[in-house]
Amino acid sequence: MLFAASGGLCAFPGCSTQIVEASSKALLGEMCHIRGASPGGPRFDPAQSDSERNEVGNLMILCPTHHSLVDQDLATYSADLLLAMKSHHEAQVATILESAIRGLGDRQAMDLVRQVEDESVDFAIVVALPKELSAVRKFFPELVRVSHKSTSTRTYYRGTVPTAGGGSYRVVVTMLPSIGNLQAAHATADLIREWNPRFFLINGIAGGLSRQNQDYGDVVASESVLYYEHAKVRPDGHDRRSKQFLADPNLVDAILNLTNVAWKKRLPPRPDANPGDELRPRIHVGPIASGEKVIAAVEAANDLRSAHANLIAVEMESAGVASAAFGAVKKVGFLTIRAICDFADASKDDRWHEYAAQSAASCLRDFLESHPVALSEGTWPKIEGTPLAPKTNPSTPDRNRLFHQLCVAFDMEEFKNLCFLLGVSTEDLPGDRKSSRVRELILLVERSDSLDLLESAVQEIRLAGEKDYF
């Protein structure tokens, strides 16, 4: 918190020292206790507790030179002065950062976070079955198992996937402990909290709904996901109140325009021994039904189609992912990419499961390589506002001369008149002696790079009193 608030610079007014050296990443900044850390230390306050001494509010970042200066010149650099110095510096940094944030849209701001946060990803992939995870890992050899986070009991696989247009996506994969939308929703919430993904992809197997137009291994992608379980129970039957989630339009457009057929050539032999070709498997895009039932009866499948004629497949996890993604503070886009392993009827078995899982995973690989969305490491728009540039050191002779003139040649009434011209109240300048208030005034104008304004005001007061102090 302390180093972030410093904006990368020493907090001493006018110092241009960066606290981290750019090329070597060497740490140059030092934490300075405003009120001393131990008895006998600079500005030690016995009324403070140990915890208060080490809180962020009692610490500031200084370069080694100014750290030594403030700890040796205790008469000049009081605790109150250092607190004011810290407050002014951190307020300046916060103002500039707020200006920068206002220049970014939500998506750009999220992408900016992902650039500086290692544990954030472009795509989070959710699978429900071990054979689905095995297929994904086969076609994404970059994925490496990562250790459990302290806040999670989930296992994740993480990797960087290159794209055809250059650049890469950061990807994380997790498998659900069991099938179903509830488990999928829990996993999605964990993924959002722990990995901050841009998009969700649901991958694996699904039940087809049209033997006439679909084949085993065909890929089905969600234009939308329909959660069909919501209903009102009446004496004469169910009044279905399905809920629909629209897939991310950019991802839908990308899957509709996926022209690469390499994913088909990577598949294992079909269980029916029929040779594949460039036309099979095919990709179907449309609404996918998602519920809590394993459907193995043609009547149930027909019932779904009667309510929603354009359905292309049925499965059990996409609605949970979509619901949690849509409910996040920053809505996360999603797309389902699955492959048909059965047709949700009495002939349902596991014969095509592995082939379909590999078809879905292979297609997913080509989909990501096709560069479906802009990379998060993009070029940022010009941000309005003043950049946080190091200040130049003030002229030491000017500062010394002004201090001497104001302390020796000006009486207190003239000093008050000078502050009036500058728009500063002497009551706001800490210190019991005039020299202390003079020092505070010089520091104040230095922070705003206005020493020339102070010199002009001194000249004006001198001329008004017809005195020659120079």
Sign of the C-alpha dihedral, residues 106, 108, 109, 111?
positive
What's the distance, CA 407 to chain centroid?
52
CATH number at residue 306: 3.40.50.1580
**What integer pLDDT is reported at residue 7 of this predicted model?**
80
Structural domain includes residue 133: yes
Structural domain includes residue 379: no
**What integer pLDDT is reported at residue 379 of this predicted model?**
36
Q: Are residues 356 and 411 in the same domain?
A: no
| Whole-number Å distance between alpha carbons of 62 and 68 | 9
**What integer pLDDT is reported at residue 26 of this predicted model?**
75
Q: Are residues 50 and 17 in the same domain?
A: yes
Q: What's the domain range around 439?
A: 394-470
Q: Are residues 129 and 209 in the same domain?
A: yes
Q: Are residues 146 and 36 in the same domain?
A: no
Sign of the C-alpha dihedral, residues 84, 85, 90, 96?
positive
**What integer pLDDT is reported at residue 234 of this predicted model?**
63
Q: Are residues 92 and 123 in the same domain?
A: no
Structural domain includes residue 381: no
Which of 78, 103, 128 lies at the terminal end of a domain, its last residue?
A: 103
Q: Are residues 259 and 337 in the same domain?
A: yes
Q: Indicate the length of the chain as a whole number.
A: 470
Structural domain includes residue 375: no
Residues 6+ apart with CB under 8 A from 42: 33, 36, 70, 71, 74
| Whole-number Å distance between alpha carbons of 339 and 139 | 15
Q: Are residues 148 and 205 in the same domain?
A: yes
Amino acid at 397: P
Residues 6+ apart with CB under 8 A from 432: none
Q: Are residues 189 and 71 in the same domain?
A: no
Q: Are residues 155 and 51 in the same domain?
A: no
Structural domain includes residue 34: yes
DSSP state of 338: E
Which of 50, 84, 103 lies at the terminal end of a domain, its last residue?
A: 103
Q: Are residues 194 and 337 in the same domain?
A: yes
**What integer pLDDT is reported at residue 441 of this predicted model?**
80
Q: Are residues 249 and 270 in the same domain?
A: yes
Q: Is the pTM of this model over 0.85?
A: no
> What is the mean pLDDT for each group of 10 consecutive residues in the chain (470 residues)?
81 80 74 90 90 88 90 90 89 73 58 57 95 96 77 84 86 93 91 90 93 92 86 62 86 94 92 77 94 69 72 92 84 94 81 96 96 67 37 49 74 78 73 74 71 74 52
Q: Are residues 208 and 141 in the same domain?
A: yes
DSSP state of 378: -
Tokens representing residue 398 in the block? 């000017």
As for how many domains the chain has, the answer is 3
**What integer pLDDT is reported at residue 105 of this predicted model?**
58
